[in-house]
Amino acid sequence: MPVSGELQTTTKDMVDTEASCPKCVFDRLPPEMIRFIFRKQSTDDLLQASATTDRLYRVAQHHMYASEGALLVRGGHDTAATVTRTFDVRKVTSLYLVDVFNFDRDVPRQLRRRDDNDVDVGEDSGEDVGEDSGEDVGEDSGEDVGDDSGEAGGEYCDGDDDDDDNERSDDSKSPYRTTFSALEVLHVGYGRDVNYANLPVDGLRRLLSDVRARRVCFSNVVMTADDVADAVSAMLEAHDNVDAEAVNENNYDDDDSGDGGDDGDDIDSRPPVLRCSHDRADDNRVIELMNDVERTCAGLLSEFRVTVRRPAPHAYAVYPMSRCGSAASVGDWDDTATTADAAAAVAAETPEDLLALTAADCSGLGPAAYKRLVPASRRLRRLTMKAARQIDDDGFKAIAGMPSLQHLDMEGMSDVTSDGLLNGLVSATGLQSLGLADCPYVTDDVLRRIGEMRQLRNLRLDLTDCDKTTAAGVTDMLSGCERLRELDLTLPLNADYVVAAASASHLDQLRTFRLTFERLSFQDHLDDQPTDPDWQSSLAAGFCDDVEFSVRQTFTKITVTVD
């Protein structure tokens, strides 16, 4: 590519640049080359670069605004007053907060929703904010900011035409956001790990409830399941309040114009998405957090994802919401969409660095979507899919045969036959953990195949809906699983199954055995009940002291009809 003549004029400033930041390569490059490099960088790369020097922060800030409509605010460098003097906040589609602790002062009020009951949260910033930066906005970047920002570099009010001036004068009547459109991304990140509880939680809750975003991202914010629930409740307040305002606005339009006037384009009713990223994190704690979030936030979030960047990028995702899509709905995954669109949707939702995926309700997924999941997630190790009613034999074989898969938990596979289960389990050579529930076509042959999987460490089986299994099949299965450490069995309650469960006592490596007996109805199996009134104590006595054994009876499958 031809080299611009302007590159030669920068050499005389090289000494000054190196003196300001002798270790930063970017600060020794001309502005044209920096802009070219930044065009090739992802948003994460830009955020990391912005944290190195003041000059790179200004360049990244203007580049993100000009190219993506994203507003970058770095704590200690900018406040709401300084960024609103430099950028047209009305055009912002995403907000990135880096090392920000005073959310009330540093977040522009124009991005917050309008609420008559709100206290003026910017009151404390008042005149101090105006004095905070002063000339700092352009001081660090000098002429480079103007070069990098294009039309976005200077004061936004200078370049607007008369129509825009009139528009601004109308908007200036209220400092709050007057449109119902949501931001694409609200990002809150820090250079090092910060506990969620150590942040100014009240200010953060006001931010999450006032600024509605389709996707909220936390970077290096250490959260517990309770912290996630707290953040989610604030996010839902933003959705509920804006939806209520939208309804009121539509009613006003109906009275005023006589027609509906609701095109529905600006109101996004999809549940929010929450994503967390960390430079480093303990994988076991992340998986524990994902399991807790699946239970506590069921039906509230459409997606919860945790990404760990080092030493190798990998991610964990939970879809606690019914129809487990967020950026792309399950309708896009289904066979009704074109193959190209559906494949793109699956690839977008399941990146290659994804290690664990939990989908709370897969009832909307078509059979082909399961096959497309395999090439989209080549590093997937842990997969949980519930209500997988449309998966077929080929789909289960494709998923179970993923070479990287170690933990598989499937529920509701009503269309997978016994042959499909057998073929899938034969191809599952790397599984260490297996869970099957609500799979009516499990047979004794399938149980024996599970017993041949010598590498299994954890097994969870619910056989209450499987009328093709017998106690003999359970006994054969347990005779082969010699390396099991954790066993969770749900069986119909009768004497034969009690004897079959007792055969697990020979498993030397077993440490946890959770046994559940399900009464299928008030009448079933009454002729074959255990004769020993103390059969539960006798069953527990057959296991070693180092085995955590529990047995219980449930009646959840019984339905009562009233004429």
Residue 62 has pLDDT above 50, yes or no: yes
Query: What does the pLDDT read at residue 352?
Result: 64
The residue that leads in pLDDT, 480 or 21, is 480
The mean per-residue pLDDT over the stretch 113-139 comes to: 42
Minimum mean pLDDT range among 96-105, 140-149, 471-480, 516-525: 140-149
CA atoms within 13 A on the CB side of 211: 30
Q: Is the pLDDT of residue 496 over 80?
A: yes
| Neighbouring-strand partners of residue 257 | none
- 446: pLDDT confidence band, cut at 50, 70 and 90? very high
Between the CA of residue 424 and those of 104, 221, 350, what are the distances in Å?
A: 55, 40, 22
407 or 265: which carries more pLDDT confidence?
A: 407
Q: What pTM does this model have?
A: 0.68
Helix (H) and strand (E) counts for the chain? 22, 15
Distances (CA, A) of 331 to 31, 111, 264, 369, 396: 45, 31, 19, 11, 20
DSSP state, residue 147: H
Least confident of 181-185, 383-387, 396-400: 181-185
> Could you tell me what percent of the chain has a pLDDT over 90?
36
Distance CA 406, CA 263 (A): 47
Query: Given pLDDT bands bounded at 50, 70 and 90, which one contains residue 488?
Result: very high
Q: Span 496-503, mean pLDDT?
A: 92
**Predicted local confidence at residue 471, as pLDDT:** 93
| pLDDT at position 375 | 78
> pLDDT value at position 29?
61
Closest among 422, 468, 423 to 443, alpha carbons compared: 468
> Is residue 49 within 8 Å of residue 98, measured between CB atoms?
no
Calculate what percentage of the chain has a pLDDT beyond 70.
67
Quick count: other Cβ atoms within 10 Å of Cβ 367? 16
Local structure of 277: helix, strand or coil: strand
Higher-confidence residue: 77 or 143? 77
Per the CB < 8 A criterion, the answer to whether 46 and 38 are in contact is: yes
pLDDT score of 137 more than 80: no
Q: Does residue 138 have a pLDDT over 60?
A: no
Task: Look up residue 188 and give its two tokens.
Answer: 């809150």
The residue with greater pLDDT, 338 or 249, is 249
Average pLDDT over residues 185-214: 92
d(CA 201, CA 199): 5
Q: How confident is the model at residue 403 (pLDDT cuts 50, 70, 90)?
A: confident
In a 13 Å sphere around the CA of 27, the CA atoms on its Cβ side amount to 23
CA distances from 191 to 61, 198, 413 (A): 17, 15, 44
- Of residues 53 and 347, the one with the higher pLDDT is 53
